[in-house]
Amino acid sequence: MDQQKATNIVKQATLVSRQDRERLHNCRSFTLWFTGLSASGKSTLACRVEKVLHDKGYPTYILDGDNVRHGLNKNLGFSPEDRQENIRRLAEVAKLFRDAGVINLTAFISPYRQERDFARSLSEDDDFIEVFVDCPVEVCEGRDPKGMYTKARQGIIKEFTGISAPYESPESPEIHLHTDSQDIEQCVEQIVRYLIEQKLIPR
């Protein structure tokens, strides 16, 4: 994932730093990286947490299938190579948003450990928080709000994570949620509590 094709690039000195932006925004910037099966609750939780942080006055942004798959990554499909490039680009964009001093929340299945580790490798200190939205595939399939699992079972959607493509669970995520037994409020509270404990946002 690390090849650099463009070599004629010279570093520019900028006049405004990430620290300047964080100071202006009166907050630290970080990434909440939600990972989990389809219908596990990633997007719902990201939206709810964004709302909480926005209401506290912090600059926030969600990167999800809606704005990334339809734009930046529209030329990628769901093959293993394309999935890898999808997550690589996402990780790089999340880094840009951190550098811009914006709290960002990514809501992608991101099924492979190696790719999530790559995303983490772009981060500094404690500004990358992996949120494992854990839910048994049977429960996700039972929810199936978009009819994706049905289509996957019918073979209409190929390489569907949890059905016909693997999901590698995080081994030591910063936050581990169980959306089959916790309700949304409890999950949001657990995330916000973590951010406070880590001094990423004030009490």
**Residue numbers annotated as active site:** 110
C-alpha to C-alpha distances, 129 to 28, 152, 168, 174, nearest whole angstrom: 13, 30, 17, 6
Q: Which stretch binds a second copy (CB under 8 A): 97-105, 109-117, 135-143, 168-176?
A: 97-105
Query: Residues with Cβ < 8 Å from 177, sequence gap 6 or more?
Result: 41, 45, 131, 132, 133, 134, 187, 190, 191
Which of positions 150-189 make contact with a second copy (CB under 8 A)?
151, 157
Q: Which of 68, 109, 135, 163: binder of a second copy (CB under 8 A)?
A: 68
- Rounded Cα distance between 42 and 134, Å, is 9
Closer CB to a second copy, residue 1 or residue 181?
1
Q: Which stretch binds a second copy (CB under 8 A): 6-14, 163-171, 173-181, 187-195?
A: 6-14
Which of positions 10-49 make contact with a second copy (CB under 8 A)?
10-16, 20-21, 24-25, 43, 47-48
CB atoms inside a 10 Å sphere around CB 113:
14
Q: How many residues bind a second copy (CB under 8 A)?
A: 62
For the chain, the distance separating the N- and C-terminal CA atoms, rounded to the nearest angstrom, is 38
Q: Which stretch binds a second copy (CB under 8 A): 87-95, 123-131, 180-188, 193-201?
A: 87-95
Q: Which of 32, 45, 87, 93: binder of a second copy (CB under 8 A)?
A: 93
What phi and psi, each to the nearest 5 degrees, are found at residue 172? -145, 70
User: Binding of a second copy at residue 118 (CB under 8 A)?
Assistant: no
Which of 4, 113, 106 lies closest to 47 in space, CA to CA?
Answer: 106
User: Binding of a second copy at residue 203 (CB under 8 A)?
Assistant: no
Closer CB to a second copy, residue 69 or residue 176?
69
User: Binding of a second copy at residue 99 (CB under 8 A)?
Assistant: yes
* Binding residues vs a second copy (CB under 8 A): 2-6, 8-16, 20-21, 24-25, 43, 47-48, 50-51, 54, 57, 59-78, 82, 85, 89, 92-93, 95-97, 99-102, 122, 146, 148, 151, 157
